[in-house]
A = this chain, B = another copy of it.
């Protein structure tokens, strides 16, 4: 099983983090991102979107970090990280959507501007971050983990770009519940870090 990976990408880190926490063996294939390897064949044959990560397991090819988490957890995670009950899966999916939209277009996009010089409207990323972070903080006031009473792929999906917020010029100091949740994630057995986290 191969993960086409970019080390500074928080979306790739989602997958590396989960694989480490769930003790799933994944072969890392480093992609020459600056050289545009992900924007041309053979990588665009795997993912026409020209994005990373990409997971290849036999005949299965997956784009989108949230989908990869669902697959790894469902196929190799033993049920702990991606429950089988519909009402619990739905509670996890709420946060996969949040990771895909509000976190990606908020703190993750702010970091793309500051750290990598992307031509994205910084004010828009800050405005989106100023909405999602207080909602996340309030949600965590009475909970240890995002979706259910134990860590799930919801936490793995939301964690990277929230923990990397400072690299987009966003301080987490106002968000005490988020900071405590970050500490809890970091204390999980098998936790894997990345630069900036």
Instruction: Tell me the A residues contacting B by CB distance below 8 Å.
Output: 48-49, 57, 60, 62-64, 66-68, 70-71, 73-75, 82, 84-87, 89-91, 93-94, 96-98, 100-101, 104-105, 121, 124, 135, 138-139
Copies of this chain, count: 2
Also in contact, A93 and B64, with CB within 8 A (given A84-B84, A138-B48):
yes
B70, A93: Cβ atoms closer than 8 Å:
yes
> Which of the residues B48, B62, B84, B97 comes within 8 Å of A96, measured between beta carbons?
B97
A75, B87: Cβ atoms closer than 8 Å:
yes
> Which of the residues B75, B85, B87, B104 comes within 8 Å of A101, measured between beta carbons?
B104
Please name all residues of chain B whose beta carbon is closer than 8 Å to the beta carbon of A68 when the two chains form the complex: 90
**Bound CA–CA A100/B102 (angstroms):** 9
